[in-house]
Structure 1
Amino acid sequence: MNKRIFLALVILMSLSLIGIILVQAYYINNSLRNTEEQFNFNVRKALSFVSKTIEKQEKEQHIFWLSKAIQESGTKADTTAILNFYVEQKNNDTNETLIYRNGILEENFKLSSALFDIGLDSINVKRILSEKETKVIEDGSVDGGTSLTALLSQIATQEFADIFSESSYNEFAYRRPIHKRVSVEEIDRLLSLKLLEDEIDIDYEFAIYSNGLATKVKTENFELKKGATFSAPFFSNKKDKSNYRLLVNFPDRKEFILSSILTMLILSIVFTSIIILAYSSAIYQLIKQRQISEIKTDFINNMTHEFKTPIATINLALDSIRNPKIIEDKEKVLRYLGMIREENKRMHAQVENVLRISKLEKNELNISKERLDLHSLVEEAITHVELIVEDRGGEITANLNAEKTSVLANDSHFTNVLVNILDNAIKYSPEAPKIIVTTEVVGNNILVHVKDHGSGMSKTAQKRVFEKFYREHTGNIHNVKGHGLGLAYVKRIIEDHQGHISVESEKDKGSTFTIKLPLIS
């Protein structure tokens, strides 16, 4: 895939994912805001209901009491007079007495019974005049001692209550202490009923404040919190003004509002997480496939280069042998045959490496293990490469100091592991190779350190050196032959032996490979 197309694809996918997340966040935030606004509306509605209901109940009780007091006063309406009504209320808390007076003018009239089809000789009509309004009520007497006193009493009482109750209520109701006008229990009962109608079932604390100061009407745990307290006027007067306010707090308000959209929030998070994981996996796979494609291209180029040289050598050797002058020279023929054999072995070894890795990936490589002495395996591996090291003027030093050396391993494969590591140390030593092999026991494990003084590798190469096909880039220079399969094979074989391999390296100062294997008793 073209690099620009790949980059454009990644950018577009990233922008699409970010857009999806932002849209999800917008709708969740919008839903949360709407839920909160609905909650606030329902709470304010409940507070208004409680305030109006309690105020209505108090006024009805006052009118009932006043009507009863007027009825029990025994007033008579037989002559024109000024009647003075007094209401006396004593406040035991402040030792004050409130006296309310209202004057009413009575005028009597006599009308013919013909106006009223009730079978009476005559009817007395009394008109009550007050500052607020004019009302007409009836009274009379009939032959035989029958009268309408009861009717007059009822009508007069009701008419007077209408005139007198509103003004008297405003006078002495606001003089009563708030804790005698309403109780915590009554507010709690009404408030909880109204909130439950709107499915608000959470704990709350409330209090009544007068001119910004707390009164005795409040719950135990109420705390005034700015920005989190709901407020509504309480006991408003005829001008819709009030010194009292009903305040309510919901300690678990945020949790309640969040719980209303919790299902949607969880599903959104789950699906968004799945999209993110799928996207990340897709990007990772794309990048990995691109890397593999590049590595395979390098592998094919290296493999072609590796095969090209021995094939060319074999062809030259065969052409030389076919030469009549050479074919008669037995020594030269044997020499060319030896070259053909070595190059053939070289190609065969490379093919074997590829096939071995393929079998390992398919778990088709049978590795039988037995009790072996690790020092013997190390010495055998050193024997395989000792002549090459000496030919380049180098040396291998073996410090086999481990006291316990018994491991469970496969002789052939583990020897190949050690040979591969030693071969790498030789190949990546530009000058005469100097290799030190050391063993030591740490806990229940034996460690094998293979240290060289070669070219070393970068930090990036150290992380990827055991990957299949990986070779550190050195531009177009291929002064070290190979195709990146040796160390991948090494790592897989060691892992099959329940071991571990690591590398420490510094550029131009050499590398140290460390193999850790479990000991057996």
Structure 2
Amino acid sequence: MKKERNYIVLIIVLTTIALIGLTCFQAYWINISIDQRKNQLKEQIQISIYEIVDRVEKFEALKKAERSGKLSALLGKSNSDLFSELSKDIYLQDSILNELNIQLRSGIEKDEKLINSFVKDLLSINYYAKFEDRLSKEDLETIIYQTFDKNKFNSTIEYALMGAKGELIYSSVDDSTLLKEIEQSSYNTQLFPDDFFNAEFILHFLVKNETQYILKSMWAMLILSILFLIIIVSAFYYNISIIYKQKKLSLIKNDFINNMTHELKTPISTISLACEALNDKDLSRDEKNRARFINTIKEENQRLGGLVENVLQSATVEKETLNLKLELLNLHAIIDKSIKNSALQVSNKNGQLDFILKAKNTLLEGDKTHLINVFSNLIDNALKYSTNIPVITISSEDVINGIVVKIKDNGIGIAKEHQLKIFDKLYRIPTGDRHDVKGFGLGLSYVKSIVEKHNGTIKVESQLGKGSTFTIQLESAKEN
């Protein structure tokens, strides 16, 4: 037994170590994946920022050319809404820039002076213009948000454009606290980096809920990892619980075998001794001795029959196919029959059996044999667990839609920690190696099963040293 216990402990320890190691390994890889995603996000944002700077410069060049009227001339178009469309769509800007590139390369199709003038306008800088004239807030926001959208970046972006002296030029927020966060963000770049003489303009970006965005982009992997981890932990817990249940069942089985061996051995030994005595010619000549030995054999045989009957009762209830032979019964008559069956046992212990049957609506549908066994078992338990002269009181009373029967004794009582377990099959209150209390732990399990099959309930109230009270409630027969 000790070797088996050590083996179980070893399995649990090794499995626990493996589970902890697997959990740590999984957490490590998730952490690496999050770091990689963070780096990818930073790279994605940085690429978008560089693209924004480039687009702002291109937009400014197109804006100058359009204002000078040379863009339409160079493209051979006279659409007055051209620039209005340009300011709303960065994709259209790319298209026009590509077309300009083609037109500039094919100098045959355009006047050389016009081209040179156009290039000169692109390279010139208006040193005295206000920044608002150079780039409006609406145009800047269009470039920023369309660029991030083009790069499939769906998180909320806030920005702030600051001058060389730290003055605020444009911002997507009004809140001073959030504005400070934007300024302190690691995402920033110089706008118009090719300007040699103008003051620097710094464009700051803030990614709101960056961690949440990263986790959201990895939700499938995280959920699957957590799910698999839960499955593994659940399987581990299930296996450990199975091991302990099997161990518990093994102990219960051994206890049952020990009790059964003890219970069966005593009447068999007694019958064997009585038979030997009857074979003795001297002893068998005395009629009183002969009658006593025969009576002993009869009693022990009945006891053996009772033990076998308890096991058979339990086996019968275990079958799901058990069919009760329901008939209309008088519960008081059932109780009376149970009392008569137990009268000899009560008398042998000089006990007292009182009954206070006050219920009037005593008709119910039930199986006569099984209900008699229920009350006989409870009376038998009351006798077995009484150390002094047993006093048993059986009472009944009417309740709504039913009848309640209470079996009260003055026995040793049941501790609280055992009260919920006494109805489990093969459960016996631990008594060490003592076998002075007879039984297999089947009686109360059988009682509960039969009561429940009659749509009833059973409960116990008990205190150590003050006895126990078993309360059974059954449904009354419905009136036709």
2:159–2:203 CA contact under 8 A, matched in 1: no
Which of 187, 190, 193 is the matching residue for 2:143?
190
Larger radius of gyration: 1
Q: Which amino acid aligns with 2:143?
A: L
Task: Choose which of 17, 20, 24 in structure 1 pairs with 2:19.
Answer: 17
Which residue of the other structure, out of 40, 51, 55, is the alignment partner of 2:53? 51
Deviation, structure 1 residue 54: 0.7
Q: What's the offset of the Cα at 1:187?
A: 3.5
Count of aligned positions: 431
Answer yes or no: is 1:424 the counterpart of 2:384.
no
CA deviation string 1:278-320 (max 9, x = no partner):
2222111110111111111111111111111111100110011
* Residue 32 of structure 2: aligned partner: 30
1:277 lines up with 2:234 in the alignment: yes
The alpha-carbon deviation at position 441 of structure 1 amounts to 3.9
Q: Partner of 1:354 in structure 2?
A: 311
Counterparts in 2 of 1:6 and 1:155: CA distance versus 1, 3 Å:
closer
User: Secondary structure in 1 aligned to 2:420?
Assistant: helix
Gaps of 5+ in 2: 71-110
Among 201, 215, 218, the residue aligned to 1:258: 215
2:172 is matched with 218
- The yes-or-no answer on 1:378 pairing with 2:335 is yes
Residues 36/399 of structure 1: CA separation in 2 closer, same or farther (3 Å cut): farther
Q: Which runs of 5+ in 1 are unaligned?
A: 69-149
SS for the counterpart of 1:280 is helix
CA distance in 1, matches of 2:161, 2:467: 82
Does structure 2 retain, via aligned residues, the 8 Å contact 1:184–1:218? no
**Higher strand residue share:** 1
Deviates more, 1:398-407 or 1:431-440: 398-407
* 1:32–1:257 CA contact under 8 A, matched in 2: yes
Check whether the contact 2:38–2:214 (CA below 8 A) recurs between aligned residues. yes
Paired residue for 2:154, among 201, 205, 212?
A: 201
Tell me the CA shift for residue 515 of structure 1. Answer: 1.7
**1:270-349 correspondence runs (5 A):** 270-349=227-306
Q: Cα distance 1:390–1:313, how it changes in 2: closer, same or farther (>3 A)?
A: closer
Distance 1:213 1:155, change over 3 A: closer
Give the whole-Å Cα distance in 2 for the aligned partners of 1:243 and 1:454: 94
Letter of the 1:515 partner, please give it. I
Q: Call closer, same or farther: CA 1:217–1:17 in 2, change over 3 Å.
A: closer
Structure 2 letter corresponding to 1:470 = Y
Contact 2:65 2:118 in 1 (8 A): no
CA-based RMSD: 3.3
Deviation at 1:351, TM superposition (A): 1.6
Q: Secondary structure at the match of 1:484?
A: coil
> Which deviates further from its counterpart, 362-371 or 223-232?
223-232
Q: Under a length normalisation based on structure 1, what TM-score does the superposition of the two structures give?
A: 0.73
- What displacement does 1:420 show? 0.7
State the identity as a percent.
34
- Residue 392 of structure 1 pairs with residue 349 of structure 2: yes
Which aligned pairs between 1:36-115 and structure 2 lie closer than 5 A? 36-58=38-60, 61-62=63-64
- The equivalent residue for 1:99 is none
In the alignment, which residue of structure 2 is the partner of 1:267? 224
Match of 1:147 in 2: none
User: CA 1:156–1:308 in 2, change beyond 3 Å: closer, same or farther?
Assistant: closer
Structure having the higher helix fraction is: 2
- Residue correspondence of structure 1 range 172-183 to structure 2 within 5 A: 172-173=128-129, 176-177=130-131, 179-183=132-136
Report what 1:245 is aligned to: 203
Q: 2-side partners of 1:358 and 1:398: how far apart?
A: 31
Closer, same or farther: CA 30–506 of 1 in aligned 2, 3 Å:
farther
Q: SS of 1:464's equivalent? A: coil
1:66 is displaced (CA, Å) by: 8.6
Partner of 2:73: none
